[in-house]
Structure 1
Amino acid sequence: MKWWYPLTGSKMSEEKTSVAFQILEAILAVLSLLIFIGLIVPALLLVLIPVQLYRWSLMLYVKLFKKDVVRIMKGKNPVLAIDDIHTRPLCTIVGYGAFEGATGEHMKQIARNCVDDKDPVTGQLLHPETHQYYEEWMGYMWWKWEKNYNTEDHIIIWEDGREASNPVLEKDFMKIIAILEAKPFPKGTSPWEAIILNNVLLNNVKNPEIPKTAIIFRFHHGLADGVTALALFMKCVFSDTMDQIPKPVLPERNFIQKRLFKLCAILQLPYQFLKQGVCAMDVNDWHVPEAKLSRTVYKAWTRRIPTALIKEIKTQLGVGFTAVLISVVSGTLRKMMIKHNAKVPTRMNALVPLPWPKHPQKSFGFLELPTGQSDPVRRLNHVHRYIERMKQSAVPAVNFFMLAFVNILPTWIIRNTVMTNYFPTVILSNFPGPPPECFSLGFPLMDTMFTGGPLRGNIGISICILSYDGAIRIVLGVDSTIFPTQEMADDFIEVLENEFYSLRQESTV
């Protein structure tokens, strides 16, 4: 099933490209068969089985002789945990909530609710990782209890030398977010912090003249993924669950179909791995080699964009909500490249989390951004078709199983291969936010947002989208090698906002 189609300017060129791509697919299919027979099967027998036996022996040794170790890190966390978190972390997630009428003490209680929540029957922590840190030993990452843990040590009142009567303005607030994203985590402590800001003035929210109190959670991605963190935040802060936010629509499959689908995904591993490597390899002026990225990131965010505007566009053109967002991002990238004399590529690629049953963000993939398409409606239709194909694709399952294999490997291999993202230019995350009109401890949530680091590798642009209470915010993070000034990041946001209204105008023509 095809999940990538080249973008071309005419029917004839599309036909030529289609034939060329079919030839490429045939070559990849033959190569993948040879790799499966000649490499994967021997690797399973000669490498992965001995490595897994080594892991089990370490786990047994730890259980018997290293009582300070809780357990080995599993899931996809090892891939994200391999980061220089004590010097310059690149996988930090930062999110915040702004409340009206609350005090710093109320924000401290919110933090305690999140990390100290216990099972009422057993008395055990529901989220023990928030009291633990991870450490590399014998080639793997291990969870260990933080010594003399105290939640108050992770809660910080932000002080920047200003008078308490002086408000934190929105432009300064985003600078604080950028600082927190790049800030190292102390050794031997669970990699999370809650930062409290008093007297914050935000634009484009209800009662903008009334100062808000904000709580900012920052945590390393190895501690939890975005959806897990969102579920924890909602449960402990708003007493709500993930059942109250929109879910991704996944194809319905019965028991046998699910098993066959997983089997086919495993058999497709070498083919899809090769195909993604070929199709997602970016070559453009903004795809900067890792060694040349400054790791100084400028942050900017949109005003609260009404979801009604996005729904109006999607209804008029018969496309999906996410397709509108991706199309607008693609159009903005195109316009900014033209504006700054960069050569516009036919497409860019974005690393994105992909839906997975029972956990909406557990897999990943590469999403095509059709920057080469000048017509906004054709660009939107292209994105919509692409996303619809992705929903039926085996790519999420293939990448899910690939991560399962990868996590058996020692950390030094993961660090120097999988963890380094050479392919895409952009990392893009789109999360549904809390339900409308949330309250915590009796205080209304006026605004919320999240953003994240660019990860290791050649990615220099991060774009994060979160909805709440009838509006979305889009947050940009861009390396200073690509955008040398904060003004360029602010300009990107202005172009992005205008792109929504331009697309609505096109949809009504």
Structure 2
Amino acid sequence: MFTKRTRCPIYVSHVVDNHLHVEALRQFFMESAVLRRFPNGKLQSPELQQTITSWFGYLFWQWDKNFKIENHIKFYTGPGKTDYVTDEEIPEIMKELSLRPFPLGQSPWEIWMWENARLARDPQQKPKTICVFRCHHSLADGYGILRLLVEDIAKQRLTLPFSLDRGHSSAFKKIWTFSKMLLKAPFELIDMSISSWDFNEWHIPEQKL
């Protein structure tokens, strides 16, 4: 995550008409996401200000004592950066970002911006600002990021394209399922203790990933 090549990243890109001021975006994101709290005053997303640390082979969240929003929301600088960004250059920039590790000691999320994007699908060729939200999967899954950006920041209601049909089970079927679970559980636990293998990728050496 913090060295060599980043694995399990999530990317969300957005195109904004005209110029987007970086300071305005930083302040808005701080208020809408980083400092967002529950009614009891507890932070809803403390991991946005925390980094991942290792202790006895296990990973934990730890507060970034030097947290600054400027370290996470910034203009893109790197290969392919020119005065004007075109459609042909965007894939190369996205490729470079996908390989870039997250800064050590910081929460694994960033918003990269670049101005003066000229997109072929815009007949008027007006300058636009492109924003790429980038985070590690340990911070949230795809739905969590979508909910953060749509509901918490854009203040829009997020609706799912479908709902799961859990069905209805009879009382007899529920009792039978529960009884079967009680009978199988001890044997399953014994089998797991003998033949289990830790597939957790966090414990695999970096060179073997």
Instruction: State the TM bucket, normalised to the shorter chain.
Output: 0.7 to 0.9
Matched, 1:133 2:40: no
Displacement of 1:255: 7.3
Q: Secondary structure at the match of 2:89?
A: helix
Displacement of 1:207: 5.2
Alignment partner of 1:210 out of 123, 126, 129: 126
Amino acid across the alignment from 1:88: R
C-alpha distance in 2 between matches for 1:175 and 1:188: 27
**Residues 1:198 and 1:110: Cα distance change in structure 2 (over 3 Å):** farther
Answer whether contact 2:87 2:120 (CA < 8 A) is retained. yes
Q: Residue 19 of structure 1 corresponds to which residue in structure 2?
A: none
Q: TM-score if structure 2 supplies the norm length?
A: 0.74
Amino acid across the alignment from 1:200: A
**Residues 1:246 and 1:135: Cα distance change in structure 2 (over 3 Å):** same
**Residues 1:163 and 1:173: Cα distance change in structure 2 (over 3 Å):** closer
Q: Residue 152 of structure 2 corresponds to which residue in structure 1?
A: 236
Matched, 1:88 2:5: yes
C-alpha distance in 2 between matches for 1:136 and 1:89: 17
Matches within 5 A, 1:49-128: 84-105=1-22, 106-119=24-37, 121-128=39-46
Matches within 5 A, 1:157-196: 157-160=75-78, 166-196=83-113
C-alpha distance in 1 between matches for 2:60 and 2:33: 20
Cα displacement string for residues 165-188 of structure 1 (whole angstroms, at most 9, x for unaligned residues): x31001211111111111111221
Identity over aligned pairs, percent: 24
Cα displacement string for residues 276-332 of structure 1 (whole angstroms, at most 9, x for unaligned residues): xxxxxxxxxxxxxxxxxxxxxxxxxxxxxxxxxxxxxxxxxxxxxxxxxxxxxxxxx
C-alpha distance in 1 between matches for 2:202 and 2:39: 44
Cα displacement string for residues 130-169 of structure 1 (whole angstroms, at most 9, x for unaligned residues): 11112221232211111121112212212348897x3100
Displacement of 1:256: 6.1
Q: Secondary structure at the match of 1:223?
A: coil
Unaligned runs of 5+ in 1: 1-83, 268-404, 420-455, 458-509
Q: Residue 74 of structure 2 corresponds to which residue in structure 1?
A: 156
Q: Secondary structure at the match of 1:136?
A: strand
Q: Residue 140 of structure 2 corresponds to which residue in structure 1?
A: 224
Cα displacement string for residues 58-85 of structure 1 (whole angstroms, at most 9, x for unaligned residues): xxxxxxxxxxxxxxxxxxxxxxxxxx43
**Residues 1:208 and 1:108: Cα distance change in structure 2 (over 3 Å):** farther
Q: Secondary structure at the match of 2:52?
A: strand
Q: Residue 63 of structure 2 corresponds to which residue in structure 1?
A: 145
Cα displacement string for residues 343-398 of structure 1 (whole angstroms, at most 9, x for unaligned residues): xxxxxxxxxxxxxxxxxxxxxxxxxxxxxxxxxxxxxxxxxxxxxxxxxxxxxxxx
**Residues 1:233 and 1:149: Cα distance change in structure 2 (over 3 Å):** same
**Residues 1:168 and 1:254: Cα distance change in structure 2 (over 3 Å):** same
C-alpha distance in 2 between matches for 1:167 and 1:155: 20
Query: Aligned pair count?
Result: 188
Unaligned runs of 5+ in 2: 182-191
Answer whether contact 1:201 1:212 (CA < 8 A) is retained. yes
Answer whether contact 2:79 2:96 (CA < 8 A) is retained. no
C-alpha distance in 1 between matches for 2:28 and 2:90: 20
Per chain length, whose mean CA-contact separation is higher, i.e. which structure has more relative contact order (CA < 8 Å, sep 6+)? 2
Displacement of 1:237: 2.9
Displacement of 1:208: 5.6
C-alpha distance in 2 between matches for 1:415 and 1:163: 34
C-alpha distance in 2 between matches for 1:120 and 1:252: 30
Q: TM-score if structure 1 supplies the norm length?
A: 0.33
Task: Please identify which structure carries the higher helix content.
Answer: 1
Answer whether contact 2:80 2:89 (CA < 8 A) is retained. no
Displacement of 1:90: 1.8
C-alpha distance in 1 between matches for 2:97 and 2:29: 17
Q: Residue 164 of structure 2 corresponds to which residue in structure 1?
A: 250
Matches within 5 A, 1:418-437: none
Matched, 1:414 2:192: no
C-alpha distance in 2 between matches for 1:87 and 1:188: 15
Cα displacement string for residues 17-76 of structure 1 (whole angstroms, at most 9, x for unaligned residues): xxxxxxxxxxxxxxxxxxxxxxxxxxxxxxxxxxxxxxxxxxxxxxxxxxxxxxxxxxxx
How large is the Cα RMSD of the aligned pairs? 3.4
Displacement of 1:112: 2.7
